[in-house]
Amino acid sequence: MKGLGGPGVPGGPGVAGGSGIGVGPYDTLRSQDEGVMDVGTVRPRISLVRLLEDVGTTVLNAVVGDPQSMDEVASVVIHDPEDDSPSTSDSMVLLVGISGGERIAESVVDLAERGVAVVVARVSSDLSSVDRETIESTGVVVLALARGVSWVQLTSLLHSVLEARNEVGHIHSRGGGPAGDLFAFANAVSALLDAPITIEDRSSRVIAFSGRQEEGDGPRIATVLERQVPDQYIRVLEEAGVFDRLYRSDDPVWVPAETLGTKMGRIAVSIRAGDEFLGSMWVALVAPLSEDRTRALLDSAGMIALQMLRLRGGADAERRLRADLIATLLDGGAGAVDAMNRLGLGTGPTLVMALGRRSFEGSSKPDDAAHIVRLTDALAMHLGAVHSQSAAALVNGTGYAVLSVRGHSPAEAELQASRVASDFLDRTGASGDTIIGIGRVVTRPAQLSRSKRDAEHALEVLLAGRASGSVATFSSVHVDAILLEIASEVAAEGFSDLGPIEAIASHDAAHATSFVDTLDAWLNAFGDVGDAAASLHVHPNTFRYRLSKVKSMAALDLDDPNVRFRLMVHLRLRGPR
């Protein structure tokens, strides 16, 4: 059995003792006396639907069968057609080296008899109806590997996704931490090319860079410091057609210094996984690369694509797992204690934060969902720095954070959480349209659903404009929350159009008057005409005239305290208009 040796360069070719490329932390293929060869000993389990979501349709796509019909995947194995021993139903079998619809169908039939439920193959678009019917009759799910994605890339990516399910808060990867791997790649490539490099995503954001950046020119140093290519250079590159060439071709693109107006030129190469453009690698040089170094650059781009897939798959899986645990925690119930322990929150007093975004009249925000995702990630990072026992994730479109507040009274805990939330909004510059509601402290995990509802109610109060600022605790706005609940019931029962306030509002709408505002100002000023008139910027005599019209129009006895109370409640239920 031929071993796959560990990487000599991070993610690179195997060293002595192996003759391939490392596929994971278990970099050997060993005989299991089965009809498949076990790639490693991965034990974490994940549903096939979730695995496909984490990996992405640009890598794997179901062409036959329903992924929901298979419960879980626990391992990835490579099919050995020379051995016919039984396999396990929770294995994903890779049909490496098997092509053509007829051969794939024969292999699927054979594997189905041995209990296999899902296979991956190089399935062409011309799969015949006969072969398709044969495969469908077995009940096996067949996934197509995208054109241009290697089997090594796939196995490594699948390992990353499976391992990320094994432990929250830590994404396993080969050769170091997730970020460290890309930076190690950058330094290795820099050494090969004898020049500083940057690795950038599709939006020209710098996700890793090598050392020796001081050898570059001013724009390169600015790019690294800002982690983003400056806008003026992006425009120059767009006008020169550099990005178009990167998107269309795998060939390196040379950009002379004269084109950029810089001291050094750039050579760029696309980073791809199959047909998907992941980003690009940029080398700062005074002259184009030699033929040997150009070939090294192209080889490096392929290895970096593999690493970016690993990181993306692992990060997506970790994010989903964290969201699942937090959703379980926020629902309360029997699973909450286990979820708290797995998130590292202990079992002491906790509270919930809910993060949302205001909507301003006349402004459409098509990026609201992406904005909340970015802010939730930023909140998780912020809490990790200032409040270690915390966890945050996006659940059903809302950002939630759970904070352990052991050692504080409920009032102190809410005050501290408010400060943390305000500091986060100030630091991110998001305090204008981003809002955070904070729930009450609860003492048991099963009660967290109540703190979640509290935080949501506080968020609703802020969204309705019934509280000032961008952060509100439920304890401070619970009366407004109750009024919102009553207003919702009033609307549901069809009571909204009843009462003198609505009759006055109808008159205002028909005659362009402001009698509702007049009545509201008088009640808020406790009957002081001078203060009420000043709040509306009118003369007291004008105000008295309007108030008299209101009394006669709705037959109101404003000397009756019960009438005044009912009017104030009705106005509060209507809310700001």
Question: What domains appear along the chain, each with residue ranges and CATH number?
Answer: 31-164 (3.40.1390), 178-313 (3.30.450.40), 332-475 (3.30.70.270), 500-574 (1.10.10.2840)
How far apart, in whole angstroms, are the C-alpha atoms of residue 131 and residue 150?
24
Nearest partner of 468 among 439, 445, 497, 435, judged by Cα: 435
What pLDDT is attached to residue 84?
63
pTM, entire model: 0.49
Higher pLDDT, residue 184 or 38: 184
How far apart, in whole angstroms, are the C-alpha atoms of residue 108 and residue 141?
9
What pLDDT is attached to residue 31?
31
The pLDDT of 287-292, averaged and rounded, is: 90
- For the cut 60, the answer to whether the pLDDT of residue 576 exceeds it is yes
C-beta separation of 401 from 312 below 8 A: no
The pLDDT of 373-377, averaged and rounded, is: 81
Q: In the structure encoding, which two tokens stand for residue 547, read together?
A: 């108030």
Higher pLDDT, residue 497 or 204: 204
The pLDDT of 332-347, averaged and rounded, is: 82
Tens of pLDDT along 81-126? 776 665 677 888 999 888 888 899 999 998 988 888 899 998 876 6
Element containing residue 201 per DSSP (H, E)? strand 197-201
Amino acid at 18: G
- For the cut 70, the answer to whether the pLDDT of residue 7 exceeds it is no
> Model confidence at 569, in pLDDT bands (50, 70, 90)?
confident
The pLDDT of 296-324, averaged and rounded, is: 78
How far apart, in whole angstroms, are the C-alpha atoms of residue 43 and residue 297?
36
Average model confidence (pLDDT) across the chain: 78
What pLDDT is attached to residue 400?
94
- For the cut 80, the answer to whether the pLDDT of residue 424 exceeds it is yes
What pLDDT is attached to residue 22?
30
Q: In the structure encoding, which two tokens stand for residue 477, read together?
A: 């706005």
Q: In the structure encoding, which two tokens stand for residue 361, read together?
A: 């009249």
Per DSSP, which regions of 430-541 are E strands? 434-438, 471-473
How far apart, in whole angstroms, are the C-alpha atoms of residue 199 and residue 185?
10
What pLDDT is attached to residue 316?
64
C-beta separation of 457 from 474 below 8 A: yes
> What letter does residue 240 receive in the DSSP assignment?
T
How far apart, in whole angstroms, are the C-alpha atoms of residue 135 and residue 106?
8
Strands 118-122 and 141-145: parallel
Q: In the structure encoding, which two tokens stand for residue 446, read together?
A: 């099963």
- For the cut 50, the answer to whether the pLDDT of residue 26 exceeds it is no
C-beta separation of 395 from 358 below 8 A: no
- For the cut 90, the answer to whether the pLDDT of residue 363 exceeds it is no
> Model confidence at 366, in pLDDT bands (50, 70, 90)?
very low
What pLDDT is attached to residue 282?
95
Lowest-pLDDT range, 49-53, 92-96, 208-212, 311-315?
311-315
How far apart, in whole angstroms, are the C-alpha atoms of residue 228 and residue 223?
5
> Model confidence at 361, in pLDDT bands (50, 70, 90)?
very low
> Model confidence at 354, in pLDDT bands (50, 70, 90)?
very high
Higher pLDDT, residue 448 or 162: 448
Percent of the chain clearing pLDDT 90 (strictly above) = 20
